[in-house]
Every structure is written in C-alpha cells, then in structure tokens.
Structure 1
Amino acid sequence: MTFIKKSILFLSLISVVSCSAEETPSAPPISDITIDNFPIIDGSDSTDPLRTILMCKILGFNYKWERRPFTQEPGADIKMIVPEYTCSEDERIYLNTHCLKQSNTHMSFMNLIDDKVEMVIAARLISRDEKVYAEENGVTLIGKPIAKDALTFMVNPLNPVNNLSISQLQRIYTGEITNWKEVGGNDEEINPYVRNRNSGSQEKFETLVMDGLTIGDFPELQVGLTMMSPYYQLEEDKQGIGYSPFYYYSVIVDNGSTRAIGINGVEMTKENIISNTYPYTTEVYAAVRSDIDRNSTAYKLFEFLTTAEGQNIVNESGYVPLDKASSVRSIYGANDITLSTIYTDLQGISHKTRQKGIMIKTDVYRDGKKHSTKILAE
C-alpha cells in the first residue's frame, strides 16, 4: 500500500487531522472577539492563569502576577494573574463571573458536556466517568493539546531522597515498598498521598504512571480536594510523597514548601520537559463540543491556541509550548480516546537501521490502558 493510501486510511479511521506547529494554518480572525461575545471558558485550577492571560491578550488588558493576600505570610500562598481592566465595572464583573469560570477539572468537563460552557482548558483529557456521562447524553467532544507539562512527584524538603526509578515509584504506590531506606532514604515509613477520583492529577497518575497496576489503599482524604492540599500535607510530613502538575508546582506555588524529585535519573525541570527526557511529560488540552458552531468566537479561540501567536501566549503564561516537530489532535467522547502524532523529524528516535520519512504514532486509551502503534511512511 502506498504512503498516500496508508495515510488516508489511517486518518479516516481516527477522524483526525495532524500537522506541525509550523504548518498550522494562519491565525483565525479573532479581532472580532469583544467583551460582549467573549466565550465562556472553564477548566482546571492549574490552567486558571493561562485562561486569564488569554483573555487579557485577546481583549487588550495588561496584567501582573501577584500572591493571593489570604495568609499572613506573603510568600506562602499561590500566585495568580491580576488583570488591569480598562473596561467598566459591569464589564469586569461580566468577564469574571460569566466568561471565566473557575471549576475544577471534573466539573469543567461536566459543564462542557451539559453545554453550560463553550470551551475547557484542562490538564487532561476526558475521564472515564465523564466519558460514560457524555455517552449517556449523546455528546462527543473535540480536543487537542495546546501546551506541554509534566506530572511532578514531590517530597518534604527535609527528605534526602532526590530520585526514584519508575519501578520504585510504582512499587511505593502498590504498597510493595513501605520504607524510605529501601530507596536510599532514612529508616522511616513512606506515606504516599493520592488525589481524589476524577481530579486531573489522579487521572494522569493512574494512566501515565501506574499503567494498570493496582494502587494501594491510600485514602483520598489524606490529601483532600484542592490543588494546594498536597503541598500543605507534604510541608508537614517529611515522610510523605505526592504529585502535582509541574506548572502548578513551579509557577503557581513556587514557594519551597515541597521539593520535586527526579525520575529514572532525570531531574524534574522545564528544560527536561522541552527535551522530552523527563518520563512523565504530559500535555494540556483545550476541548469543545463537537456540535459547536464553527463560526463562533469559542471555536475561533480554540483554533487560535495552536497558531504561532497562540503558542506565544502559552509560552508567556509559563507553560511549555508544543513541539515544533509534532502536533496532536484528538476526537473523543463516545469512542475510545485516540491520540495521533506525526513526527516530521526522526532524529533521536532509535531504529535498527537509519530511516527517513514521517512516523505516525497512535495511542488509544481503552479502559485506562494505553495501546500504541506506529507507522513509518518513507
């Protein structure tokens, strides 16, 4: 079968169009997006700064980063984006209460399925529970990666352990390894912390890290339901270990209350996300309903996010932009979650013999497990 026939068959089976960031069509006309027709956007707590910066850049507002003034210690609370509005008070209230929703990951997807919001920007794809709910309501969603992030594993700053292998990490969370001395630390019991079901971090952890392994009975209530709970818990527990998006750890919190550890000898740094050397590199997604009006401002903004100008905003927010060599588009909802990646540069990919061409990689997430296939088009 020729390369062209293979490509047509492959892309028709998954209903996906993929292209590199440099090949993405020019930015859609978004000059007509105003306060009055600004789309209703929801998302995860960790993507709140990106959503707010996006609003500021589209509507022409300046902004600044500030720590929330909710605690007596100035550096203890999280950082947030504070827009410098040049509109009326009524318009400011409209943008903050109607357009920029602040639900968590799970509720934002539920709101999108229920048609209460027009777009979601979140740290993961649709969850298993949300997928079932979408199927019950006959709804499908269109999603695509818009940025890169990573799942960060954190310990108390006094914990001497700096690195864990993938196997050690998995065995800690299956309950096989129970003492820090087994992984080069002190002779102390390990206290693993997990997130609540359907949280963005928990979904990433189950599919990306545990990959079908049975997680030990670690109560969700040990951590709680907020993004800051793991930080508060680990700040007080030098024997604990937990996880969080790297962006939330390094940009939003960034106060030294916890310390990120390396995995498989690779440090948890932004540079290692960019180079894809950190093993738990992930992606941030934008999603809309598949029945969205293609002429709506929400869809224009959805398409804008993967243009060069949109990726500049992603970079300005502190996230890692998408690779120039690849782009991923997904359609999900009633069917299995399917991701396709086209690599236009095969350097760094190991082969028995040197090969040139285009590699198309497909990951299908079925019942929480990833099934991968690759096609090399010479």
Structure 2
Amino acid sequence: MKNRLVSLFLLAAVLALSACGAPGAFSDPSASTPSSSAAAQVNPFVFTRENFPNLDGSTSTVPLAQAIASVLLGETREETSDLFHFSKTTQSYRTLMWGDEDGVDLLIAAEPPEVIWQEKEAQSFQWQMEPFAIDALVFVVNADNPVDSLTTEQIQQIYTGKITNWSQVGGDDLPIIPFQRNEEAGSQTAMNKLVMKGLPMMEAPANYVRGEMGDLIEAVAAYDDSPSAIGYTMYYYANDMNMADGLKILAVDGVVPSGDTIRNGDYPFLNNYYVVCGEQPSEATQVLYDWILSDEGQKLVAHEGYVPVTATEAAK
C-alpha cells in the first residue's frame, strides 16, 4: 500500500507538471483556442474541495474515484474519502437523473441495465456518456477446484440449470452451486448481456443471490468448506483489488483474462466503464469529464489497473 501511494504521488507530480502548475490546475479543454500566440495562454482550471464535482458510480470504480480526487486535489486517498459515497451502478444513474439532497454531478460507472435506459427515455433526460476503460466479466471458483476453464456454452448451461455437477465439465463429483448478483447490479447487467444473451437464468435461492460484489466473492471462496461454488465479478475487482484470495479466475473458451487479453479483445466477455454527466454540467464537471478522457486521465486509469480505452503509448 505504501509503495502504491508513493507511485500515485509521483504520477500526480507528472500530471501536475504537464498541466502547468500545482496539483489541481488543468487547462479547460472546452475553452476556445485564440489564433494569436500571445492570446494562446489559457487560464488553468483549479480544482478545490469547494468546486470538486460530486461523484457516484459502480462499486468497482471507487478506487479510481479516490485516485482522481487524490491527484487533482493533491491530497491522500484517505483525505478525499469524505467527498463521495458510491451508491452502485443502477442507483447512481437514477440519482444523476432524479437528483437527491446532495446531488450527483458525474458518474464513473458500468453500463446501466435496460430499465435505466427506459427511465431515461420516459423522462427525456439527456446526458453525455463516453467509455473511458474496458473491463471483463470473469468467473471465479474456489482455488481447490480442479477446473481451470469453461466454455461459454458450459457457463450458460450452468446458469440455466442444465449442468448441475462439476463432473460434467471435467471436475470432481460435486454439485455446482452457482451464485448470482442482484438484478440491478452492474455485473448482473453484464452477465445477461454478454453471457446469457437472452437465455433465462434459473431462479436461484435467495441465499445464492448477493447484493454486494465482495459478498459474492467471499461466498464462493468459503461455501460449505468445499470447491462447489462458482460466481462472477469484474476482472478489476477480483484481480487488481486483490479480492480473489482463495479463489481462481477461470479461462473462458481457452482464454485467460488478463490486461493483454482484455485490451486486444481476445477474452470474450468485455464491458466498458463510462464517464457520465448531464447535458449541461457545471464548468468543473465538464472539465473533469474531459480530463478523464484525456491522455493524462487515461494514464491514471492505466496506473490504477484498469484497461484504458485509448491505445496510446502514454496510456499503456
């Protein structure tokens, strides 16, 4: 943790120097560029605690939000932790659209479920929305499970209830306990869209459905002191947040999920993270939105272990 914090401050120093001054000072990308060189000096936008946009989003993007605030405000992650409280994927979109007493200015979140698109259309809400990183839906089992890889078809059959024993996919003679996420979770949206593709998932007992990503991972690792369970989560959460202790991330269709196989598209279940704000945001919100998509922002995305959408050397 200490080394990671030191490297983050080094990155902050590099970003600050490239932004013409102290941490938090960034040229406003929306400002027009004067034609004369004398007029080309653009006033930098300075982020402060008072003007920093209120962030919300998915559970798996909380570390990135902490890093963004740390870099732009020149504070430690711990010092910025009071600036935002993420309400998870579906609720964060609703809070942006409907508002609440605190207000939400900008999301860094997974793709919303279909119900959010329907609600957005019903109330004619307009937003700016661009992908800033790529993640993958991965499947995890207890580290003692001898199965290392499944096919897409096998995963579909496990979650429709057609395959019920690990011996059917080359494992031990044990029942398969397939954990799921709640319907409005970002990983559940990804599961339905990327894996099931219209196939109805079997109705799971209530204790097989977990509302928190961390709860699902813990349940798979510890279920009945046996390697019977399987579950799914986002690659960043399981791998870069070191949440997969005691677990094994499975290959799918023979492809092991990694930064390289996600970046080059070889791994089959890929999903974007998005930066989202209203159609007419405040100046600070627009500057932050644009910065996350900029070269400096993409460097930070890569530094934090996410796979940035840009393919530039700076972002690798």
Q: TM-score, normalised by structure 1?
A: 0.67
Q: CA deviation at 1:182?
A: 1.0
Q: Distance in 2 between matches of 1:157 and 1:300?
A: 44
Distance 1:324 1:220, change over 3 A: farther
Change (3 A) 1:311 1:302: same
SS of residue in 1 equivalent to 2:72: helix
Deviates more, 1:251-260 or 1:151-160: 251-260
Distance 1:186 1:30 in 2: 61
Indicate whether 1:210 and 2:196 are aligned: yes
For residue 169 of structure 1, what is the amino acid of its counterpart?
Answer: I
For residues 159-308 of structure 1, what are the structure 2 equivalents within 5 Å? 159-237=145-223, 238-293=227-282, 296-308=283-295
> Residues 218 and 315 from structure 1, CA distance in 2 versus in 1: closer, same or farther, beyond 3 angstroms?
same
Paired positions, count: 267
Q: Secondary structure at the match of 2:200?
A: coil
Q: Distance in 2 between matches of 1:155 and 1:243?
A: 9
Query: Which is richer in strand?
Result: 1
Distance 1:252 1:30, change over 3 A: farther
Contact 1:30 1:300 in 2 (8 A): no
Greater shift, 133-142 or 237-246, is seen at 133-142
Q: State the alpha-carbon separation in 2 of the partners of residues 222 and 165 from structure 1.
A: 22
> Which one of the candidate residues 71, 74, 83 is aligned to 1:60?
74
Q: 1:27 to 1:220 in 2, by over 3 A?
A: farther
Please tell me the residue identity of whatever aligns with 1:274. Answer: R
Tell me how far apart the structure 2 counterparts of residues 247 and 154 of structure 1 sit (CA, whole Å): 13
Tell me the distance in 2 between the aligned counterparts of 1:139 and 1:160: 49
TM-score, scaled to structure 2:
0.79
Measure how far apart 1:167 and its partner are.
0.9
State whether residues 217 and 243 of structure 2, in contact with CA within 8 Å, keep that contact through their aligned partners in structure 1. Answer: no
Q: Percent identity?
A: 31
Indicate conservation of the 8 Å contact 1:149/1:283, yes or no.
Answer: yes
Whether the 8 Å CA contact 2:28–2:45 is kept in 1: the answer is: no
Equivalent pair of 2:217/2:244 in contact (CA under 8 Å): no
For 2:105, the aligned partner's letter is: E
Q: Deviations over 1:217-253 (max 9, x none)?
A: 1235423211211111111221111000000001223
Q: How does 1:67-216 map to 2 (within 5 A)?
A: 82-83=77-78, 85=79, 96-97=81-82, 99-115=83-99, 116-122=103-109, 124-216=110-202
* RMSD between aligned residues: 1.9
- CA shift for structure 1 position 59: 1.1
Instruction: Tell me: CA distance 1:221–1:278, structure 2 relative to 1, closer, same or farther (3 Å).
Output: same
The letter of the residue matching 2:114 is R
**Aligned pair 1:41/2:29, yes or no?**
no
Long gaps (5+) in structure 1: 1-25, 64-81, 86-94, 326-378
Report what 1:335 is aligned to. Answer: none
1:267 alignment partner, SS class = coil
Cα distance in 1 for residues equivalent to 2:111 and 2:276? 8
For 1:140 and 1:182, the matched residues in 2 are separated by 48
Q: Partners in 2 of 1:30 and 1:244 — Cα distance?
A: 39
User: Could you tell me whether the CA contact under 8 Å between 2:137 and 2:191 is conserved in 1?
Assistant: yes
Question: Which SS does the other structure have where 2:308 is aligned?
Answer: coil
> Unpaired segments of 5 or more residues in structure 2?
1-26, 30-42
Deviation of 1:133 (Å): 2.5
Question: 1:195, 1:220 within 8 Å by CA — same for their partners in 2?
Answer: no
Name the residue aligned to 2:40. none
Other structure's SS at 1:277 match: coil
Conservation of the 8 A alpha-carbon contact between 2:111 and 2:272: no
Deviation sequence 1:181-200 (CA, Å, 0-9, x none): 11111111111111001100
